[in-house]
Amino acid sequence: MRILIIQIFTSFISCILVTSAAFSNEKLDLLTDKYNSGSLDDKVEAFFQFYFILEELDIDSSFFYIEDLHDLGIQENRPDAIAMANYCYGHYLSTKMLIDESIVKFESSLMTFLKLGNDTLSSEAYNGIGNAYFLRGDYLSAEEYYLKAIEQARISNVDRFELVPFPNLARIFIRQKKYQEAENLLVDYLHFYKGTTKLKQLGLVYGLLGQLKMEQENIEEAIQFLEQSLEFNLALGSHRITANGYTNMAIACFLNDKTQLAEHYFRLALFYREKDDNPFFLAEGLFNMGDFYIELGQMDSCLFYYTKSLEVALASNNLVGVTDVYRVLAEVYEIKGDSKTQANYLQLYIDKKEEQYAEKVSSELSLLRASFQTSKREQEFNAFNREEEMHAKLSGVYEVWDYWIWIMVGLVISLGGIFIYKRTRS
């Protein structure tokens, strides 16, 4: 069922990057003000705190701060600032599915964090690499880096950093059908945050416990966990996260043959998508409604929601959404036996698929060029520093050499004096 696949992926993207940062527009305003007016130390600290908030609200806006911090780090000879920029650059490129390039950025930041002895940020960088491999579908490599992240965080003795990879590693174990290992991680995560005000983390862990129980086909228990997750999501006040929660509830009810309740939750999810006012996710919510009705065989209803999804996707220039709708509309008209309309939508689908591919290639090339230029500036900076270090070492060698020359001259003079003294005495 496509809605289940979409929601699991969407939920992962929305919570894979959970850090200590909280979701708050007000907090974002305060932190961006601190970044704009503060010292470089203030900028590094503020950027780490607000990047993930900004990424959730408007990911492309974060690119300005990444490049700005990177350039400032080079200008002021601050490897820690460059590393922080690269760390967030890695996340940015992961969301754009430029996985290889994102791993390069993460590894660059990791080398600096390890050199500086910053165990918590080293752990975060390992976790970021794990996320990148997860998105690629390389779950064994993802597991390896999540475990490295946990091990690195334990050195710092800061429990909350050790727990950051737990939900992500639990997802790996769920996919590997290691259900007990996944549950152990999630229970430990829950014990740490239970009774705290960390609503996002609590909503996340209950949602994952719900997904775990769905995988085990314990639908009733899954619904209970998802209801608890939904309570925290509602309290958090994020329309997007609440919509994800209602969609998960709808899927669980659908799998439990509670179609009326599933429909109710899908409509609530759509309501919060509309309140969120993000055209990409609104198109997806309408698309999910179409999927729901096609599963029930209600062609008129599914056509209505697919058409509404298409309108939103076209208005917002969402090529992915437009392409998906053209494909499913072709499938719907095939079921209805209308081959002429089906052929029209298939042609539209092919045309949009080609346009989508061309735009994707253009966007990726643009990002890769920007990434290359950033890396080039960083390599020039590193080469300059290495040259300075080499000159400093050579200066030290020359100083030591001069020192020994004077010692040798002194010894020769002393020996000469002794020799002359003995000759005069004899």
CB atoms within 10 A of CB 423: 8
CA distance 30 to 393: 45
What's the confidence (pLDDT) of residue 352? 79
Contact 19, 124 (CB under 8 A): yes
Predicted TM-score (pTM) of the model is 0.69
pLDDT over 90 (residue 24): no
Whether 10 shows a pLDDT value over 70: the answer reads no
pLDDT for res 311: 93
Q: Per-residue pLDDT tens for 198-226?
A: 888 898 899 899 989 989 988 889 889 98
The per-residue pLDDT for 170 is: 93
For the chain, give the percent of residues with pLDDT over 70.
78
Q: Which of these, 381, 392, 417, 407, lies nearest to 83 by C-alpha position?
A: 381
Greater model confidence, 379 or 77:
77
- Band (pLDDT 50/70/90 cuts) for residue 415 is low
Render 102-160 in DSSP notation, one character per residue: HHHHHHHHHHHHHHHT-HHHHHHHHHHHHHHHHHHT-HHHHHHHHHHHHHHHHHHT-HH
7 has a pLDDT exceeding 50:
no
Task: Round to whole Å and give the CA distance between 83 and 330.
Answer: 48
- Crossing angle of helices 239-255 and 199-215, in 10° steps, is 20
